[in-house]
Structure 1
Amino acid sequence: MANVSAVLKPKTQDETIDTGLTAAYREEMAEKLSAILASTYKLTIKSHIYHWNVVGPLFKPLHELTEEHYGALFGATDIIAERIRALGHLAPAKLGEAAQFAPKASEVNKKSAEDMVNDLIADHETAVKAMRKAAADAGDADDVVTEDMLTARLTFHEKALWMLRAIVAH
């Protein structure tokens, strides 16, 4: 019988991957996807915190929309991390840095619902720009899987932007 602790011990990825994507491309894309993963976590956390703390006339629509968004964003983190793994790299494991993503309590207390929405809009726009660039790079490398995943993520973020902008339209 195999030594159970030896079987369960994590190992680094030493396998040769021959899927038509170069090692250099896979490493570069894994780094880009890691940054996208971090921005997705940032939006997840902010959306959740704003969901809890929004007040005023926009409470109900923003409370419901941020709940929908943080659920979808959290699901996206798994998809992005799994693509990093499929490219032959470890998903980032610096969860201790997640605290830097969350707004400080004093910042939340001073934000109106409109300020929260505008903050989320800015973060979604930043995420969209990084995803659009990474998707173009994936397309150039014939990495249709990553390109498709990022297209789906862009679809979510652009719809989120439309909805957030509609909430604060004057």
Structure 2
Amino acid sequence: MKRAPQINIGIPEEQREKIANGLSHLLADSYSLYLMTHNFHWNVTGPMFNTLHVMFMQQYTEQWNALDLIAERIRALGFPAPGTYAEFGKLTSIKEVTGVPKALEMVRHLVDAQEATARTARDLFPLLEEANDQPTADLLTQRLDVHEKTAWMLRSLLEE
């Protein structure tokens, strides 16, 4: 049986493993955020229904597309990407919402989840700088931009 060729991209295996582990946490947060947003899209009601229904759809669609980018970066670093609810449950920092909250409570939960996902991404930068890992830094910079902007837009709905 042939072994897979060794990965020689200029980042030692130990550093790649730490980065892949951090990205696995980001993937779990991102999936949890995706699922929460899609759930709220299905279940939102009230006077802001149309606005939130459409907004949530745009957000979960963007989030869905990001999952593949994060998982593929983990694979490019040479490690398996987590892909089960059990794995995501162990890795995520986002608390699951039970029941069906009122519309503005949904928005509050999503602000918290967007910010949590941004913090998870930001926590990786010291590892990336040490490893000189620009592709992962670029991915995380793009993700941070999305999460911070989305959190701001959601927070704007909560202002009186």
- Normalising to structure 1: TM-score of the pair? 0.84
Distance (Å, rounded) in 2 between the aligned partners of 1:96 and 1:132 = 24
Q: Which amino acid aligns with 1:26?
A: R
Aligned to 2:111: 121
Structure 1 match to 2:129: 139
Task: Note the C-alpha offset of 1:137.
Answer: 2.3
Partner of 2:43: 53
Indicate the SS of the match to 1:88: coil
Once the two structures are superposed, the pairs formed by residues 71-90 of structure 1 within 5 Å of their partners are 71-90=61-80
Deviation at 1:97, TM superposition (A): 5.6
Report the equivalent of 1:3.
Answer: none
Among 5, 8, 12, the alignment partner of 1:15 is: 5
Partner of 2:14: 24
Q: Quote the residue 2:60 is aligned against.
A: 70
Q: C-alpha distance in 2, partners of 1:141/1:58?
A: 46
Q: Which runs of 5+ in 1 are unaligned?
A: 1-5
Structure 1 residue 152: deviation in Å?
Answer: 0.4
User: For 1:84, what is the secondary structure of its paired residue?
Assistant: helix
Structure 2 unpaired stretches of 5+: none
Q: Is the 8 A contact 1:135 1:151 kept in 2?
A: no
CA RMSD of aligned residues (A): 2.2
* 1: CA distance, partners of 2:76 / 2:35: 26
* Separation in structure 1 between the aligned mates of residue 88 and residue 40 of structure 2, nearest angstrom: 16
How many percent of aligned residue pairs carry the same amino acid?
Answer: 38
Q: Which residue of 1 aligns with 2:140?
A: 150
The 1-side partners of 2:35 and 2:88 are apart by 8
Contact kept in structure 2, 1:50 and 1:66, CA below 8 Å: yes
Paired positions, count: 156
State TM-score, norm by structure 2.
0.89
State which of 96, 103, 117 in structure 1 corresponds to 2:97.
Answer: 103
Superposed CA offset, 1:81-101 (max 9, x none): 000000001111324566897
| Equivalent position to 2:28, from 9, 32, 38 | 38
SS in 2 for 1:145: helix
Distance 2:58 2:136 in 1: 24
Q: RCO higher in 1 or 2 (8 Å CA, sep ≥ 6)? A: 2
Distance 1:63 1:161 in 2: 16
Deviation for aligned residue 1:61: 1.6
Q: CA deviation at 1:74?
A: 0.5
Cα distance in structure 2, aligned partners of 1:156 and 1:33: 16
Structure 2: distance between partners of 1:96 and 1:134: 23
